[in-house]
Amino acid sequence: MPADYLIDRGLGCVFWVFDGVVTPEERDAGEARVLADPDLPHHARILVDARTMLGAEAFTSDDISGVADRWRHRGLGAGHARIALIVDKAWAPASEFSDRLENRYISAIVFNDLAGATSWLGIPRDAASEVVTQLRSDIQRRD
């Protein structure tokens, strides 16, 4: 699967990395794993790094709306969740997801670099970079 995640309790952040071509079916399967994880905190800080993901432009508004609905129904944000989406080329789908997801319990912002995302989330950039690099390496090694 061209995606992987890690819940880092030390940093207080969920890292989710996408790399290469990701189909809607693969995205949905990965999303189901993350949302079903009993360790996923409701008040999470989540960093989604999709800078090296290919094919995000193929996600329809219905796909994006469905993902946003599932995250809200999971109870994410019961304390207050912050989601930083880092993208390279898929600004339109990422922005639409951010807009559809946001409510008074969830804040989501789209970034184009790790520095801005980590600053907004309040986590150390160097530590986050290590996690993201390791997840991306693990994905590439499996594929």
Residues 54, 89: Cα–Cα separation, whole Å:
9
Q: Which residue has the higher pLDDT, 90 or 82?
A: 82
By mean pLDDT, which of 30-44, 64-78, 121-135 is the weakest? 64-78
- Predicted confidence (pLDDT) at residue 76 exceeds the cutoff of 70: no
Query: Residues 110-142: pLDDT tens digits?
Result: 899 999 999 999 999 999 999 999 999 999 998
pLDDT the model gives residue 120: 95
pTM of the entire structure? 0.87
What value does the mean pLDDT take over residues 16-25?
88
pLDDT the model gives residue 55: 74
Residues 141, 34: Cα–Cα separation, whole Å:
21
Residues 136, 42: Cα–Cα separation, whole Å:
25
CATH architecture under which domain 3-142 falls: 2-Layer Sandwich (3.30)
Residues 42, 35: Cα–Cα separation, whole Å:
10
Q: Write down the mean pLDDT value for the chain.
A: 85
* Dihedral angle of Cα 63, 123, 113, 7, to the nearest 10 degrees: -40
Q: Which residue has the higher pLDDT, 127 or 32?
A: 127
Alpha-carbon distances, residue 43 vs 25, 40, 66, 80, 84 (angstroms): 27, 9, 21, 5, 14
Backbone angles phi, psi at 65, to 5 degrees: -65, -40
pLDDT the model gives residue 133: 97
Domain boundaries, the chain: 3-142
